[in-house]
């Protein structure tokens, strides 16, 4: 049951998940700021 690639793949998946999460947060913040600006100017 010792697959060195399994832990490596799991680590890559976790890193990819963190990166995707950060990207999602950044996109949400940018979208919210743009949305708030539209409401403020409108």
Angle at 15 between CA 11 and CA 21, to 5 degrees: 145
Q: What is the pLDDT of residues 1-42, one digit of tens each?
A: 555 666 777 888 899 999 999 999 999 999 999 999 988 887
Give the per-residue pLDDT at 31. Answer: 96
Give the per-residue pLDDT at 5. Answer: 62
Give the per-residue pLDDT at 15. Answer: 93
Report the predicted TM-score, pTM, of the whole model to 2 decimal places: 0.60
Specify the residue for token string 């919210």.
32
Give the per-residue pLDDT at 7. Answer: 72
Question: DSSP string of the chain?
Answer: ---HHHHHHHHHHHHHHHHHHHHHHHHHHHHHHHHHHHHHH-
């Amino acid at each position: 049951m010792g697959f060195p690639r399994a832990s490596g793949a799991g680590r890559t998946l976790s890193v990819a998940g963190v990166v995707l999460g950060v990207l999602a947060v950044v996109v949400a913040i940018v979208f919210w700021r743009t949305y708030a600006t539209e409401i403020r100017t409108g």
